[in-house]
């Protein structure tokens, strides 16, 4: 795997990896993505192979500019309002795919919708502007494993399976983007740092929570996901013998997501902390996290990390 620096030359060379139809990991504000040219079916197939990802789990397309979305999907007034408010940023919209869209069929796994987003991390923006084509990118981890928020997580998890890594700082948000679909009313398909309340304010209507949604699904939302090798026990008010404790707020613990009890900070640290504690080989107990705001997304990821494995 070749590494590229955050310099104009590094960004040019990184975009060349995508132009060749190869795989490039790159940082976004949420997590590192594993990118390929979204219009090149052979390149997209390499993403599924490198991650060991089931072919029914569709990918998110990353664009440099919100104005490009209309080339690929039908943009409703509500979708436009969300784009105006939150793009660039950690929001993904699932919208009807246009018939003549050049996006490779494997990206949407045969669905007639496409997930798209415009990231705001400067390095992701620079890469997308340089490549000037849509980039399909799931999180840059092996399927079912913890999402990467640092370049080192990518090196360890996928280093021998991908062609390039655009080296950048740790991800600021640390949790994958909020995903909103329409049935035709807005539905949160995956909670993230942009909350249901923020979405309600932007469109004047409360989105349905993902549990209330019975028509559309994010097919990749498998119960066991983000799984460390060790067992995970949630809402732990005390540690049991042999466990390491992942804390929140002022307390004694092995690692603390946010000693001051700040949920944004906890989201930023979550995947890194799970990765670090997993190296101890001990079972991981996790202190209760308030189920409000970003805490909803943190608890969603923790429940999947703790779920029974296949």
Contact set with Mg ion (CB under 5 A): 139
137 touches ligand TXA (CB under 6 A):
yes
Please give the helix or strand (H or E) that residue 17 lies within, else none: helix 8-19
- The site that binds ligand TXA (CB under 6 A) totals a number of residues, namely 29
Buried b (16+ CB within 10 A) or exposed e, 220-243: beeeebbbbebebbbebeebeeeb
User: What's the closest the beta carbon of residue 88 comes to ligand TXA, in angstroms?
Assistant: 11
User: What's the closest the beta carbon of residue 252 comes to Mg ion, in angstroms?
Assistant: 32
Q: 59 touches which of Mg ion, ligand TXA, none (CB within 5 to 8 A by kind)?
A: ligand TXA
Cβ closest to ligand TXA, residue 109 vs residue 282: 109
- From the list 290, 279, 155, 187, the residue with the least C-alpha distance to 229 is 279
28 touches ligand TXA (CB under 6 A):
yes
Which range touches ligand TXA (CB under 6 A), out of 12-20, 134-142, 260-268, 286-294?
Answer: 134-142
Longest dimension (CA), the chain: 59
Contact assessment for residue 271 and residue 298, using Cβ atoms and an 8 Å cutoff: no
Calculated CA dihedral for residues 37, 220, 191, 236, nearest 10 degrees: -130
Question: What secondary structure does DSSP assign to 260-275, as a single string?
Answer: T--HHHHHHHHHHHHH
Q: Give the CB-nearest residue to Mg ion.
A: 139
User: What's the closest the beta carbon of residue 76 comes to ligand TXA, in angstroms?
Assistant: 15
Cβ closest to ligand TXA, residue 28 vs residue 256: 28
Cβ-count burial of 55 within 10 angstroms (0-12 exposed, 13-18 middle, 19+ buried)?
Answer: exposed
User: What's the closest the beta carbon of residue 55 comes to ligand TXA, in angstroms?
Assistant: 12
Q: 108 touches which of Mg ion, ligand TXA, none (CB within 5 to 8 A by kind)?
A: ligand TXA
Return the residue matching tokens 């007639």: 112
Binding site for ligand TXA (CB under 6 A): 28, 30-31, 33, 57-60, 90, 92, 94, 108, 111, 113-115, 137-139, 176-177, 179, 181, 189-190, 218-221
């Amino acid at each position: 795997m070749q590494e590229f620096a955050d310099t104009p030359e590094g960004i040019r060379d990184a975009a060349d990896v995508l132009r060749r139809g190869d795989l490039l990991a790159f940082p976004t504000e949420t997590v590192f993505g594993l990118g390929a040219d979204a219009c090149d079916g052979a390149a997209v197939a390499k993403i599924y192979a490198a991650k060991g990802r089931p072919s029914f789990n569709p990918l998110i397309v990353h664009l440099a500019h919100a104005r490009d979305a209309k080339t690929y999907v039908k943009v409703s007034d509500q979708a436009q309002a969300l784009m105006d408010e939150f793009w660039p940023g950690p929001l993904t919209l699932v919208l009807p795919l246009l018939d003549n869209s050049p996006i490779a069929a494997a990206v949407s796994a045969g669905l007639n919708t496409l997930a798209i987003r415009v990231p705001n991390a400067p390095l992701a923006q620079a890469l997308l502007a340089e490549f000037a084509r849509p980039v399909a990118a799931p999180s840059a981890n092996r399927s079912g494993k913890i999402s990467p928020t640092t370049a080192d997580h990518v090196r360890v998890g996928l280093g021998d399976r991908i062609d390039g890594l655009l080296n950048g700082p740790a991800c600021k948000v640390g949790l994958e983007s909020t995903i909103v679909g329409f049935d035709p009313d807005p539905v949160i398909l995956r909670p993230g740092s942009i909350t249901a309340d923020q979405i309600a304010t932007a469109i004047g209507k409360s989105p349905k929570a993902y549990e209330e949604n019975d028509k559309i699904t994010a097919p990749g939302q498998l119960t066991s996901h983000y799984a460390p090798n060790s067992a995970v026990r949630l809402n732990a008010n005390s540690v049991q013998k042999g466990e390491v404790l992942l804390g929140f707020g002022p307390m004694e613990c092995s690692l603390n997501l946010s000693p001051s009890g700040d949920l944004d900070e906890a989201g930023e640290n979550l995947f890194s902390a799970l990765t670090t504690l997993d190296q101890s080989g001990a079972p991981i107990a996790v202190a209760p996290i308030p189920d409000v705001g970003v805490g909803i997304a943190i608890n969603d990821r923790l429940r999947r990390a703790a779920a029974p494995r296949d």
